[in-house]
Structure 1
Amino acid sequence: MNASDTLMFREAQESAAVVARQLAANEAVVSALAQSLREAPPRFIVTCARGSSDHAAAYAKYVFETQLGIATASASPSVSSVYAAEQQWRDALFIAISQSGKSPDLLRTAEAAKRAGARVVALVNLTDSPLAALADTVIPLHAGPERSVAATKSYLAALAAVLHLCARWSGDAELDAALPTLPDALRKSWDADWSSLHEGLVGAHNLFVVGRGFGLGIALEAALKFKETCGLHAEAFSAAEVKHGPMALVGPDFPVLCFAQDDDTLASTLAVAREFRGRGAQVFVAAPGQHGPGTLPVPGGLPALCTPLLIIQSFYRAASELALRRGFNPDVPPHLNKVTETV
């Protein structure tokens, strides 16, 4: 089997078309929601998701807090589904992110949010799902059917939906101008040569994935995909947190993958990469404008908020290659199902 024969490869390859379709189809609903939120701003934002969707929520936290100045926190679904504890969410914006919109604990948390007086927005791929039915506003992901257990295009679609909402809500001219160029940038990212990554990690047993700020969510996502599709134990850390103890593990037999965007977090993330290289570790760095051994190409020219989408698109292609080289079929990870219905 070649990587291009897998569903993971083919579905991830569709991401540019998905994002282009989503931005066009959602313009009316996103603009209307943004106008309403400007007129009646929420006191705070609560996100709720599981798995890859929760990694999209981690990205949303940095986007909303840096661009809108509104505190954004992640809700634990177990608080509502298991402990049945009522929350004080009046006048909050509750954003549920889900591919299927079916997970029972996510639905119970969304129902609890409505009872508590929050405005419920669903970023969901299946618009006929129970989550979409109970939401005040639905922002469809428009990813189309996703059959591989590993979520790819639906994850990128969630990131794009967050960007779209932020651009319209904040009125940021630079971000607004960047959105139409995002699909072409994703196509370039898909064609970027990341072969050194999937060749370099064939024999790895453990690694860290490091990101910071906008890049932390995709570090979490990449670590999950390494475990899920490649049988490779990976853990994600902030470039700041990794120095508080986890870095003691890093050495010649412990590789590190660093993600960075061209903003105020770039210097500190590159400094961590240099320190790990100094210990003899194999270090890969994906960041715009970086060159030399161990660097992975990332298109530049877009706002830093957009860079994580470009990096994770290149990563998905590399991960589908790495999985096969390590003897795994990325479409059918052991013991996993497409929809995980936690309660």
Structure 2
Amino acid sequence: MTTDIGEQPAGFARLLSAEHAGPIARVAEVIARRRPRHVVFTARGTSDHAALYGAYLTEIRLGIPAGLASPSTITVFGARPDLSDALVVGVSQSGGSPDLVEVIRVARASGALTLAVTNAPQSPLARAAELSVDIAAGHERAVAATKTYTAELLALLLLVEGIRNGDGSLPAVERAALDALPDLAARTLADPTPTQLAARYRFAARLVTTGRGYAYPTAREAALKLMETSYLPALAFSGADLLHGPLAMTDPDVPVLAVVGSGLGGRSMREVLPRLGERRADVVVVGSADVEGATRMAVPDVDERYAPLLDILPLQRLALSLALARGEDPDAPRGLKKVTSTM
């Protein structure tokens, strides 16, 4: 897991290279020409959080309704929704989950434009879809996904921005900003704060993660990593949902990891943080926002769309360090496999 996490800056650079960004741009051009009326994502586990990020991007940047499919409606209940005007995107690091393959197969049969976003370009999911994107993350050693998650995020970002521009290209200013990500990721990974916090939370009984907008998928992925590697019950809420009841369970004994950037989503979290203060919650802020009086895992300030690629990095390292501090093996969590087959 340590090696996988450390390879993410190089992974960003590889995916941004002409060899891999070029094919994504060509897929984006095809989708732009087809002009889908709505977008449906299907995914499981960590990839489901990448898909949620893709849904935010799609609605905000493209103005197209987007949502996440429930595979069981097709695989268990036999539903055959009319997806003839949709783009249906399967997101999976392995491309091997039978339920996702079946959703793509059914969607394609109903007339949908189908796309696989996967780290396995020869996988069943990639073969089932009309189009495919290789996230080019390389072999992931640990069971808990880290570098494949951020590669999925970057691939979806390149895809959506390419669709927005119509021909798959990116404006020069945006391309320059993306080219800075590998160096920013390396700088983020060099911060020792996550290791220091692991000692602080070694005996925590439960934990809460929260964020809004583009940061919400980060909060959900952080909670999953903590549960996978440390077996620590971690509940993820959007900042808005946290105020609708779950706030009551926060107190000085329940650490709260709040993903707060400098964009609109981060600003909307400013109403959440004082309420956590009223509860005397143990809050750690993750992101570029400087919140007075809060412990912080600092992340470079970038465009809000790019922030999830950096914000998750210290949280991955916290999950890794916390697992080790609690005497667990983060490379091989109990009961988990790299590929989970569900229907």
| TM beyond 0.5 | yes
CA distance in structure 1 between the partners assigned to 2:321 and 2:308 by the alignment: 20
CA distance in structure 1 between the partners assigned to 2:272 and 2:289 by the alignment: 17
Amino acid at match of 1:57: A
Query: Residue 38 of structure 1: CA displacement?
Result: 2.5
Partner of 1:184: 183
Query: Residue 267 of structure 1: CA displacement?
Result: 2.5
**What are the ranges of 5 or more consecutive residues in structure 1 without an aligned counterpart?**
1-7
Partner of 1:3: none
Please say if 1:285 is aligned against 2:285.
Answer: yes
Structure 1 residues 197 and 272: alpha-carbon distance in aligned structure 2, compared to 1, 3 A threshold:
farther
Partner of 2:8: 15
Query: Residue 147 of structure 1: CA displacement?
Result: 2.2
Partner of 2:164: 170
| Secondary structure in structure 1 of the residue aligned to 2:329 | coil
CA root-mean-square deviation: 1.4
CA distance in structure 1 between the partners assigned to 2:26 and 2:273 by the alignment: 43
CA distance in structure 2 between the partners assigned to 1:260 and 1:209 by the alignment: 11
Partner of 1:294: 295
Query: Residue 336 of structure 1: CA displacement?
Result: 1.1
How do residues 314-333 of structure 1 correspond to structure 2 at under 5 angstroms?
A: 314-333=314-333
Q: Is the 8 A contact 2:297 2:314 kept in 1?
A: no
Q: Is the 8 A contact 1:193 1:297 kept in 2?
A: no
Moved more, 266-275 or 130-139: 266-275
Partner of 1:80: 74
Partner of 2:153: 159
Q: Is the 8 A contact 2:261 2:289 kept in 1?
A: no
Q: Is the 8 A contact 1:210 1:258 kept in 2?
A: yes
Partner of 1:111: 105
Show CA shifts across 1:293-333 (max 9, x none). Answer: 41111111x21111111010121122111110011111111
Please say if 1:39 is aligned against 2:33.
Answer: yes
Query: Residue 37 of structure 1: CA displacement?
Result: 2.5
Q: Please, which of 86, 95, 107 is the counterpart of residue 92 of structure 1? A: 86
| Secondary structure in structure 1 of the residue aligned to 2:258 | strand
Q: Is the 8 A contact 1:102 1:129 kept in 2?
A: yes
Amino acid at match of 1:168: G
What is the total number of aligned residue pairs between the two structures? Answer: 335
Partner of 1:5: none
Partner of 1:225: 225
Please say if 1:200 is aligned against 2:203.
Answer: no
**What are the ranges of 5 or more consecutive residues in structure 2 without an aligned counterpart?**
none
Q: Is the 8 A contact 1:168 1:176 kept in 2?
A: no
Partner of 1:236: 236
* Identity value in percent: 39
| TM-score, reference length from structure 2 | 0.94
| TM-score, reference length from structure 1 | 0.94
Please say if 1:65 is aligned against 2:59.
Answer: yes
| Secondary structure in structure 1 of the residue aligned to 2:96 | coil
Amino acid at match of 1:183: P
